[in-house]
Amino acid sequence: MLNSKTCLLFLLCSLAVTAAFALPAKTDSLKNYLLQAKDDTNKVNALNALSAEYKSRNPDSSLTLINQAILLAEKINFKKGKAEALRNKGGYHLDKASYNEAMKYYFESLRISAEIGDRSGVAKTTGNIGIVYRNQANYPKALEYYFKAMQLAEELGDQKRVAIQLGNIGNIYKELADYPRALDHYFKALKMAEAQGNKNVIAIYLLNIGSVYVEMSKLRTAVAEQENELNKALEFYLRSLKIAEELDNRFLIGACTGNIGNVYFSMGALSAGTSTPLYRSAQEYYFKALQINTELGNRNETGIILGNISSLYVKTGRYPEAENFLARSMAIADSIGAYGLKRDVEKIYSELDSARGNYKGALEHYKKYIIARDSINNDEKKQQQYRAESRYEWEKKEAILKEQAAASAAVAAEESKRQKVITGAVVLVLLIVAIFLFNTSRKNKIISAQKTQVENKNKIIEEKNKDITDSMSYAARIQRSLLPGEGYISRQISKLNARDRGNK
């Protein structure tokens, strides 16, 4: 069985930075809009959105739309739209493993996004650059850009992108065969994706987790332990496939079906007497993966699957068919210069000739396999040495990051403590003020009540005095009405005096 781990990891990383794939209805809506759209920013945005929709189903059409978006954005000086289109073009070349081209477009996109202050665009492109470095096995650089991207995402409150970077860091751990820490990061990322309801990203992390269990199965010696790890892998692969089919994400469907086929093949090789149904399932999924990858134009993965089908046919005694698929796989290996694929095909040819009793042919193919293996091993040894150095650099950086995180946590804790003291003091002052205001208000109410009582008493006294005064006045009026007036009395006295004078 040919190993498709490298292609799988590359695919997962490229998928991890794309937007969720929409239903065909959205694609139709965008196409209809573009037919009547004016040359403005909305049209650029629509071209970019439609190119993302075509990314997994028709990469060449996606590239055509990307180029149209770039030209229109330049024409109307829409820098943000151009930066997005350049980022999408970098993604196209990343999917094709054209890393230098991918870097060229990513860095140009990053420059424009930084120039216009588009921090979200900077975060996305920074993460993409990290992916290219990871695919080139430059783990220290990949780590640097992943953490930059995650920091920006956290500052922006973009939890979706934080989850993506957690997954990318998990990919680094997987490459370094640190499977427990890889799973730890993948499960954290999966939990965040599930909380966000992001099905595309959920499917990716499920597939990542399954691939870790496959690698762990290779480290087990007991058959039961190997089967246990493979069953876990199958569970996560099937969950991922179900979501990928719901989303019509063909890149992801191709990755899931190919890897499910590998699991069934491995299970069949471990089983005693029950291998036939497992091999039949492996064949079913291999052919699904073959069809999808052929349609997508993914030639290296197509060659790997053709080799896996031939290996399955050798195992099940279907030799003519095995030879046919081997020839097709070898043709792809020669045409794209895939020496790893060519090495594996030569080994399967040797197994096929040996199974048919053609030992001379088996020896010839085995010699070719050894030559290819040794040639590749020299490069792989250099790569292993570089990976060891990268791991050392990675661990140093990780230690520094942990120290920085611990220092930040200590500062945050001290600040939190200081804030608690300040808050406590403020609360105490407010409590004292509240008590003072309460007492003052209470006293004012008492004084007001006393004042009201005095006023009421004065009013009562005043009313009583008024009653007395009114009574006295009334009596005086009565008295005046009963007594003769002063003039009357004077006249009467005058009369008496006159009378007395007459009598004399």
DSSP labels, 440-494: HHHHHHHHHHHHHHHHHHHHHHHHHHHHHHHHHHHHHHHHHHHSPPHHHHHHHHH
Over 70: is that where the pLDDT of 273 sits?
no
Query: What is the spatial distance between Cα 6 and Cα 258, in angstroms, rounded to a whole number?
Result: 13
CB 265, CB 237: distance < 8 Å = no
Q: Mean per-residue pLDDT for 358-365?
A: 92
pTM of model > 0.85: no
Residue 196's contacts (CB-CB under 8 Å, 6 or more residues apart) are 159, 160, 163
Structure tokens at 229: 């790890």
**210 neighbors 258 (Cβ within 8 angstroms):** no
Amino acid identity for residue 72 in this structure: L
Q: Which of 52-56, 186-190, 448-452, 477-481 has the highest mean pLDDT?
A: 186-190
Average pLDDT over residues 288-296: 93
Give me the residue spans of the domains in the chain: 1-197
Closest CA to 16 of 292, 261, 255: 255
At residue 103, does pLDDT exceed 50?
A: yes
Q: How confident is the model at residue 286 (pLDDT cuts 50, 70, 90)?
A: very high
Task: Look up tokens 């080139």; give the residue.
Answer: 136
The answer, yes or no, to whether residue 422 has pLDDT greater than 90, is no
Highest averaged pLDDT of the listed ranges 143-152, 306-315, 404-413: 306-315
Residue 396 has what pLDDT? Answer: 58
The sign of the dihedral angle between the CA atoms of 408, 414, 419, 420 is positive
Distance (Å, rounded) from C-alpha 395 to C-alpha 377? Answer: 26
CA 55, CA 323: separation in Å to the nearest integer?
34
- Return the SS3 of 273: coil
- Average pLDDT over every residue of 225-248: 96
> Using 50, 70 and 90 to split pLDDT, how confident is the model at 486?
low
Helix, strand, coil % (nearest 5) of the chain? 90, 0, 10
What confidence score (pLDDT) does residue 390 get? 54
Is residue 259 within 8 A of residue 210, CB to CB? The reply is: yes
Dist CA 310 CA 315 (whole Å): 9
214 Cβ neighbours under 8 A, 6+ residues apart:
229, 230, 233, 259, 262, 263, 266
Instruction: Report the alpha-carbon angle 230-173-214, nearest 5.
Output: 10
Query: Does 362 score more than 60 pLDDT?
Result: yes
Say how many C-beta atoms besides its own lie within 10 A of residue 141's C-beta.
17
- pLDDT(381) > 60: no
Give whole-number Cα distances, 117 to 63, 103, 104, 120, 123, in Å: 26, 21, 20, 9, 11
Average pLDDT, the chain: 81
Confidence of residue 385 (pLDDT cuts 50, 70, 90): very low
Residue pLDDT, tens place only, 165-198:
898 889 888 888 889 999 999 999 999 999 989 8
142 contacts 151 by C-beta, under 8 angstroms: no
Let me know: does 394 contact 143? Beta carbons within 8 Å: yes
Kindly report the three-state secondary structure assignment for every residue of 128-188: HHHHHHHHCCCHHHHHHHHHHHHHHHHHHCCHHHHHHHHHHHHHHHHHCCCHHHHHHHHHH
Q: Check if the beta carbon of residue 135 is closer than 8 Å to that of residue 145.
A: no
The alpha-helical segments, DSSP class H, found in 248-296 are 250-270, 275-296
Cα gap 166→193, rounded to integer Å: 11
Contact 47, 72 (CB under 8 A): yes
Residue 484 pLDDT:
57
Contact assessment for residue 58 and residue 21, using Cβ atoms and an 8 Å cutoff: no
Pick the CATH number of 1-197 from 3.40.1160.10, 3.30.420.590, 1.25.40.10, 3.30.230.10: 1.25.40.10
Question: What is the token pair recorded at 175?
Answer: 């490459």
CB half-sphere exposure, 257, CA atoms < 13 A: 23
Average pLDDT in the 404-425 region? 70
C-alpha to C-alpha distance for 6 and 301, rounded to whole angstroms: 10
CB 229 within 8 A of CB 209: no
Q: Are 250 and 296 in contact (CB under 8 A)?
A: yes
The predicted pLDDT at position 492 comes to 67
**What whole-number distance in Å separates Cα of residue 130 and Cα of residue 169?**
10
Q: What is the amino acid identity at position 358?
A: N
Nearest to 389 by CA among 138, 167, 209: 138
